[in-house]
Chains A and B, each alone.
Chain A
Amino acid sequence: MEDAALVQSIVGGRVDAFRSLVVRYERPLFRFFARFGFASAAQEDLAQETFLRAFRSLASFDPERGSLAAWLFTIARNLATDEGGRIRQQCRTAPSDTAPDARSEEDGPAELHERAEAVARVRRALEELPAALHSTFVLAEIRDLSLKEVAAIEGCALGTVKSRVHRAREQLRAALGATEKSR
């Protein structure tokens, strides 16, 4: 079922259909909050709050004005930047929260250590990005949204989004470069 039809069904009284929406968007939302720098407990709280807020105001969603993904990530972004700021300061992502899953069977301890170091550097570099750059980059990185939708959420021009993504990637590559050089 497409997003708009799903929303119509939920608004029409089929509350249980909201589960399909949760299952469809839980992973991108967790990814969004994780890349925003939240620890796993905060990721769950924020993702749950996003879905609750979405449920409360689902009747106000207008498919003519944008996709459900863009609408949902607008709620998530507002939560992450406003209410989340407090939580984020309290509990930064713990190193074990996002284990590097890209390891292969043949990786030795040295390779695993290098990879973990690279992940930690990128995470730190992500957290150190200026707020606007961070938010835009994380939204663009989710891949569930077009850059045009990211521009609508951020309230800026498409060119600005492209430039922010470019700058963010430059900074993250520089952080990784430092890892490479330190070997």
Chain B
Amino acid sequence: MTCTEIQQKLTHGEALDESERTHALACAECGALASSCVLLDATLAALEPEVPEAFADRVMASIAREVGQHGRAHERANPTPWYERRSAGLLLSSAAALVALVNVARFIAVVLLPVRSFGGAP
């Protein structure tokens, strides 16, 4: 460990170990450099900015907007086929229910009612 090595560490902003600190306290040249480096680090630390309140919330809101816009743009570029749309599904299932209802009515009218008017089964 030489003065040059310690001074190099100090000017690179590296931390000194115990023996190097002891040397810096005893050596006038290294000591002066060490105290000016400590002063510089303290001054730089005073430049610490404040993170604005709810900054993360604002970033996440921007991302949510972007994800939403991306989803809508994707939908416009690749429209869903009519038969895969929710409205088409509802329409088809309603039509199927209507056909089933008509068939039940026809069964009652054509098969059950004539049998009853002849007094039941033979």
Contacts and interface: CB of A to CB of B under 8 A. Distances in A.
Query: Do A and B interact with each other, yes or no?
Result: yes
Contacts of B39: 118, 176
Interface in B13-48: 13, 36-37, 39-40, 42-48
A102 B40 contact: no
A26 interface: yes
Contacts of A16: 60
Contacts of A123: 47
A172 B48 CA distance: 16
Contact of B48 (A23, A101, A162): A101
Given A169-B13, A176-B36, A122 B63 contact: no
B40 A172 contact: yes
Contact of B47 (A35, A48, A162, A173): A35
A26 B37 contact: no
Contact of A47 (B40, B48, B55, B63): B55
A55 B63 contact: yes
A173 B37 contact: yes
Interface of B: 8, 11-13, 36-37, 39-40, 42-52, 55-56, 58-60, 62-64, 66-67
Given A102-B42, A173-B40, A19 B47 contact: no
A173 B12 contact: no
Nearest to A20: B56
Contacts of B52: 40, 44
Given A34-B49, A35-B47, A176-B39, A52 B62 contact: yes
Nearest to A99: B46
A166 B36 CA distance: 14
B55 to A, nearest CB: 6
Interface size class of A (residues with CB under 8 A): 35 or more
Interface in A157-173: 162, 165-166, 169-170, 172-173
A18 B13 contact: no
Interface string A145-167: 00000000000000000100110
13 contacts: A22-B55, A35-B47, A55-B63, A97-B49, A99-B46, A100-B46, A102-B42, A102-B46, A118-B39, A122-B47, A165-B13, A173-B36, A177-B36
Nearest to A23: B56
The list of the 7 closest CB pairs from A to B, nearest first, reads A100-B46, A34-B49, A22-B56, A102-B46, A98-B47, A30-B49, A122-B43
A31 B37 contact: no
A22 B60 contact: yes
Contacts of B63: 15, 18, 51-52, 55
Contact of B55 (A44, A162, A177): A44
